[in-house]
A and B are shown apart, each in its own frame.
Chain A
Amino acid sequence: MTLPLAAAAIALIVIALYAVFGGADFGGGVWDLLASGPRREAQRDTISNAIGPVWESNHVWLIFLIVVMFTCFPPAFADLMTYLNAPLTLALIGIVLRGAAFVFRNYASDSPAMARNWTITFGIASILAPFFLGDAAGAVAAGDYAWLSPFAFSVGLFAVALFAQVAAVFLLQETPRGRLRDDFRRRAIRGTVAVWVVGLLPATLARSVAPQFFAALTSLAAATAIAIAVLLGIAAMVLVARGNDQLARVAVGAEVVAVLGGWFGAQAPAIVPGRWTIDAAAASPPMLQAFLIATLCGAVVLIPSLVLLFAVFKGPISSR
């Protein structure tokens, strides 16, 4: 494996981890906004408790992605940041408001008016951020940076739906068995259906708007990844319906990875189709080497710490 390819692989892993774990947090915000019924407050508490201990570390994947990009692929990073300035700024505002609102709400719980304002902010920001991140991803995939296009918007919507689905499935294990868990079970199934419906949009639009991307999507590697994603989605729904929540969690996580695999498969080896390939954008070999060594050393500290965090807070509810 060449150095640029190794760096790109790390970038992909980071994107995947952010999409699964950060995505679940975003989706939690969506369900927080849509919390309803007699157990509305209990739903919000569940979401709050699930996100609380882990959101800061889930969020770091995004910062790390930015660092990987400007360290390893500086000209492509400069290009993306220049031409996608607007959607990334909007996503950024969403990310800032979401993080701040989450903590502010938690610590303002004795002032209902304040808590309500920040709850609404948290929910809206949790939609805004993934929408514009997805939108930017769509504009990259199409290779034209047209972030205001229907195609880019459809990818944004798809990201919101996908994260909502992941969150609902993830939340199942965060609630005691009973009505509350059934609430999230219904949401998980609704989310899955939403992913299929909304997922048809970019697929259809790509055909006419981004023909190159569509052609690439239908290539063997990309098409296989997408087929796997669809199968995993179905599997997740069956598992949710049958109450096998732990396996369902694994299935939706894998589904997100497969969706991303389809995207990367479609545009590899380009970072931005028609503009930057992995090799053309790569930093100098000494920098890439230094980065890879730093990442290996960092991983040695990071992985056990992450395992500890998730072991303490994310085990099955009965073991806590």
Chain B
Amino acid sequence: MDHVIAARAQMGTSLAFHIVFAAMGVGLPLLVLIAEGMWLRTKRRAYYDLARTWSKGMAILFAVGAVSGTVLSFELGLLWPTFMKYAGGIIGLPFSLEGFAFFIEAIFIGLYLYGWERLSPRAHWLTAWPIAISGAISAGFVTTANAWMNMPTGFRIVDGKVVDVQPLVAMFSPPWLVEVVHTTVAAYVVTGFGAAAVCAFALLRRSADERRDQVLAGLRIAMAVALVAIPLQMVVGDVIARFDAEHEPAKFASLEALRTTQRYAPITIGGIVDPQTYEERFGIVVPGALSVLVAFDPRAQVTGLDRIAPADRPPVPIVHYSFDTMVGTASLLLAVALAWALFALRRWTMPRWLYAAIAVSGPLSVVTLEAGWFVTEFGRQPWVARGLLRTSDAVTIAPGLDVQFYAFSFLYVILALTCWWLLARVGGKAHGGERSSLAPSTS
């Protein structure tokens, strides 16, 4: 395997794996917090059981998220030492702050998971807050580093050396806010639909009959979170798209596979892109729509790939398909959330097809998350830090990357399978009334 490809494959696999757990690590504490809060208020047993079930899932997912995040922090150096040599001294601040946020998260997750019997109910509930808050904050800090990679600021290069470093300017590079909001909300989208899907699946299989109260409560809380998050996400996504059109034309042109710079630029939905000529076939063309999206004016000019030097173009088909996948699946998620809201508000009996749609929306939201991440990462190529350092120049000289890639991929498969198996048991047991057997034993 080619050296750079092996490094990118390893980093890509690690991130694709980690991002799911990281997102759950941000979102699940919020669900747990709401569930336990409802229990404190209503004293209904169903909410207590729900909080305990979800917190077991949180324990498993958080642990895998923590170790896979450790892999990433090492891989920054193990795979991209040249990048870190330059970037570490510029963009280290958000990573340092993230370190503390992660610390708080890890401390309070210990207190929460093992504190059920040792803390008063209210104190126990309070320990969930720092987990939820620092989880969101740490995702935010990491995303500011990604924003910097898209638009490196806060330093100058003189004779090949980095000078005039301004850590705060680097941390708050122009795209930071929109990217942070988009990433954080994505976590609530995935967790909301993910948790709702587990509940809906249990209702479909009727395995939840004994614990119907708990499962219905879980479905309500998770769908409520998803219902708030998904429309918000689409608004933020729209803001990002317009930001990219202005500041990251190569990425934006790739999103839409826009060949030539033009007025009345169309949006093409679906379609097959020729990787060489960027010609697009079989797509649905909406004339002028892209110009309207960018500037609310069909006559607005949109930069196409023809203005980007061939060596600086991202892999257009991947970015385009990922973008369409993200927008398409997100629209489906919105439809499911709205359908649920309609039935819930009108107090209509939920039909089986709606439960089935919610059950499908869980995996679908993961697809949306991954596709969105593909858009931002492939859209930045061939740069690791745009305009500053190419991915191919950042890679390590250490040998054996292909072996590493296979080893870590194998490891992730094992972890993912075990995780899945355990979560299925946590879900199954929660509905079978054998809660205590799955709690970590505490002395």
Residues of chain A whose beta carbon lies under 8 Å from any beta carbon of chain B: 45-46, 48-49, 52-57, 59-60, 62-64, 66-72, 74-75, 77-83, 85-86, 88-89, 92-93, 95-97, 99-100, 102-104, 106-111, 114, 118, 174, 283-284, 286-287, 290-291, 294-295, 297-298, 301-302, 305-306, 308-309, 312-313, 317, 320
Contacts and interface: CB of A to CB of B under 8 A. Distances in A.
B115 interface: yes
B130 A305 contact: yes
B103 A57 contact: yes
Given A78-B77, A302-B104, A295 B96 contact: yes
Interface in B409-440: 411, 415, 418-419, 421-422, 425-426, 429, 434, 437-438, 440
A115 to B, nearest CB: 11
Contacts of B398: 82-83, 85-86
A69 B92 CA distance: 9
B85 interface: yes
B443 to A, nearest CB: 5
A310 to B, nearest CB: 9
B167 A290 contact: yes
A74 B106 contact: no
B261 interface: no
B423 to A, nearest CB: 9
Contacts of B104: 301-302, 305
Nearest to B109: A56
Interface in B62-101: 62-64, 66-71, 73-74, 76-78, 81-82, 84-90, 92-93, 95-100
Given A74-B85, A298-B99, A54 B110 contact: yes
B81 A294 contact: no
A53 B118 CA distance: 12
A106 B442 CA distance: 11
Given A78-B85, A287-B89, A102 B63 contact: yes
A100 B68 CA distance: 9
B88 A74 contact: yes
Interface stretch (B29-37, B158-166, B176-184, B273-281): B158-166
A56 B66 contact: yes
B107 A283 contact: no
A100 B77 contact: no
B77 A77 contact: yes
Main secondary structure of the interface of A (DSSP, over half): helix
Contacts of B426: 107
A308 B111 contact: yes
Nearest to A307: B107
Given A301-B104, A309-B110, A63 B62 contact: no
B68 to A, nearest CB: 7
A59 B93 contact: no
A291 B96 CA distance: 7
Nearest to B69: A63
Nearest to B401: A85
Interface string B387-421: 00000000011101000100110010001001101
A53 B99 contact: no
13 contacts: A70-B77, A74-B88, A77-B81, A78-B77, A99-B63, A100-B67, A110-B429, A290-B167, A294-B96, A294-B97, A301-B104, A313-B114, A320-B118
A173 to B, nearest CB: 12
B84 A70 contact: yes
A286 B90 CA distance: 9
Contacts of A72: 89, 92
Contacts of B415: 96, 100
B56 interface: yes
B332 interface: no
A89 B78 contact: yes
A77 B84 CA distance: 8
B308 interface: no
B442 A49 contact: yes
Contacts of B349: none
Contact of A100 (B74, B81, B119, B418): B418
A164 B89 CA distance: 36
A104 B407 contact: no
A183 to B, nearest CB: 16
Given A56-B62, A93-B411, A99-B67, A283 B88 contact: yes
Which has the most chain B C-beta neighbours within 10 Å: A64, A69, A102, A287? A287
B78 A75 contact: no
B71 A109 contact: no
B418 A96 contact: no
Contacts of A74: 84-89, 92
